[in-house]
Structure 1
Amino acid sequence: MRTARYTDQVLEQVERRDPDQSEFLQAVHEIFACLEPVVERHPEYAANAVLERLVEPDRLVKFRVPWVDDDGMVQVNRGYRVQFNAAIGPYKGGLRFHPTVTESVVKFLGFEQVIKNALTGLPMGGGKGGSDFDPRGRSDAEVMRFCQSFMTELQRHIGQFTDVPAGDINVGAREIGYLFGQYKRIRNEYSGVLTGKNLEFGGSLVRPEATGYGLCYYTAKALRVLRNETFENKTVVVSGSGNVAFYAIEKAHMLGATVITVSDSSGYIVDPHGIDLDVVRDIKMTRRARMSEYADAVPDSTYHEGSAGIWTVPCDIALPCATQNEIDGDAARSLIEHGCRVVCEGANMPSTPEAIAVFQASDILYGPGQAANAGGVAVSGLEMSQNSMRLPWSFEDTDQRLRDIMQGIVAHSLDAAKDYGREGDLMFGANVAGFVKVADAMVAQGVC
């Protein structure tokens, strides 16, 4: 017989089983903190062990990835794919190539992906994967050989009706192309097994822009509903310089804001006149160089070593778009002290639990990553639909669908929050809305 504190029991079980998986435990704690009133209202969730099943992946694949570098030396990396929950659709989630990738990291990403995908309203379950391989400084030929080796194993576990990976950190159009080519070569099958593909072989318009644009659509809707404000004339701080940051900057500028920062792992740029995206594109997307070069190319801009100082830059809105746990409690307090009143997350879990507590105890409008950065997977889902129909959609049509999905996430989150007496709490509402959809499907499908 389960007691009333069902969530606490399951948390204790997760901590006992996975004590060394700090990122995964953080994600579980963050979502479970919102679920106690839900499971109290729905005793069928405890009776069907929904939480115990939700925190345990359907399967986790870990494999060796051997490949040969340009010097003829054999290198060996680790590959992962976690297939977390398929209650509402095939597993869906990106691949991350970065030295920080571990089992804990892919599990936290996959767990959050379950909630995120449910919020989009599209039929997608949650998964994630990647490798501790670092493509920075590697030639195209080395990246190709690594991707081919990685896919040689991964192809056994994925498929358009089973698991559809996409890109994530350091996995862009180049890597997706190499992965898709190897899948097609091995399986003799042309299908929508990967998203984020080039337009020439089944990709979708708006996919590169989707997470950054979606973040701004989400933020704009939340601003309008909760503050009766817009992006117009706001000063915005954005971290990161990958696809998410780049297109968040672009869309924020289009909406009338001035974005004054951009960053990478070495430091950050402050440009009081607004970030010049042509310069960023040349540095990061063409030459794959360091962001410090921006200050040499753009008058009046300054470069600052280290990434933490970016949260001391005065702003109205902060859009963290780099990586997990980039904002700690001190950074959160600094943002507030320097005038920030809106934080919406473009990265996965960029705020620590202490930072989130600071936001929620203040007047900050806080949009959590599992909701605010759902635009990427939303357009990935739309790419899957286009692949199934063998029909491409226009940029305008796809962009409007993305806008509708992100605005819908805000509305559904606020409805769920109001239903449980937490009116205006976007984090609570997002976790509850996503969880209930998945939990109801799990109960309806029996013990599986």
Structure 2
Amino acid sequence: MTTTGEVHHQAAGGLWWWGRRRSAVFDIGLAVLSAAECGVEGFAFAQRGGLPVGIGVLVGVLVGATLVLRRRWPIAVVLISIAVSPASMGFLLTVVGLYSLAASDVPRRITVCVAGMSLVGTLIVVWARMMQDHDRLQFGGWFVPFMAITMSLGLTGPSVLLGLYVGARRRLMESLRERADSLERELQLLAERAEERAEWARGEERTRIAREMHDVVAHRVSLMVVHAAALQAVARKDPEKAVKNAALVGDMGRQALTELREMLGVLRAHEPKPEPAPEPVRDREAARDREPLAAVGAAAAAAAFRAEVEQGPCLAEVDALVEQSRAAGMVVELLVEGEAAECSREVEQTAYRVIQEGLTNVHKHAPGAKARVRVAHRAGEVAMQVENGPSPEGADDGARLPSGGNGLVGMRERVAALGGVFVAGPTDAGGFRVSAVIPREPGAG
């Protein structure tokens, strides 16, 4: 279906091919005026041609009434106007038909061809009429072609130009409307993606906080439990050693509390301040704009939290970590290979946490077993390994500590996030080995 200057939708209350009743009333009114005009002109044509007056009027009314089809079949309306032009009828039919054709979605080449046919037909008819009346006119030979060309252009030109302008303007408005709808859909999609990214960032931070809490608490508490068991065993036999173990338990408890306070302080520092309840959002665009801002705020808080957490331990503190395990009664051998080279803070912290978790697992699952810690500085990477033998016979199984099974998972996630390789499993000798290789530049692996 073609349109003439309006976007038509099949809505409830529409009549036939009209989308609105107002359009139908307007076209029917034009058809009535055109039928009246063509009826009068048909009456005059019948008198001049010697035809029955009734037939001339009837044909004129039917021809003029075809203007009601201008929105549905504009080409047919123009062709009918061209066909009846020799009878000198259909002035309104020609003007409105050409306008409707030029403003419709008919291809431009067809519009130009039909409009050219109308122009030629009008020119021929006017020329013939002027030649019939030339003997009564007192003008030169130039007058007939001048008037024929002027009248034909005046009848077809303005209608076609106005229709082309209205059609181009309508198509421009449709394209702008479609573009606005597309932009609205894109904004909605961006808002949904921003919310998804914010939710993903929150999930990542929850996982990271869980790993940090596990690394901070598990090692200290495990050593405290080991020292408490030793304190219980030697309390009566060796009071001096009991006092020493009690002091170590107190020191480790204070260190654990200090690290917990630092961790909770980081979380509190980025906790959003309570705000008054927001007013109801009535503007859909305003509500959509708030979602990306919330996502940006969550990402900024995550980045700040990550920056503060990365100020944690490093490989230079491995000696102190091993000494703590030795003080708890574990036999630990530390081997460092290669020269330490500069690497990112995140790599050093992850390497430290892997060694810390490996020693913690020895305290938990193999009390009394010997352990060996190896750190190798290689070209472009850092390798670490914590290996322990089997628990000696007669070891107190009641001293074994409970485990949540999250230590190895956390180590694997840390190493994989930096592009490294993590391997853990039992040894042939009945012990357990934890190995990791991390590139010096995160993601280089």
Query: What is the TM-score of this pair, normalised by structure 2?
Result: 0.18
Q: Would you tell me which structure has more helix in proportion to its own residues? A: 2
Q: Would you tell me which structure has more strand in proportion to its own residues? A: 1
Query: What is the TM-score of this pair, normalised by structure 1?
Result: 0.18
The structure having more radius of gyration, on CA atoms, is 2
Tell me which of the two structures has the higher relative contact order, counting C-alpha pairs closer than 8 angstroms and 6 or more residues apart. Answer: 1
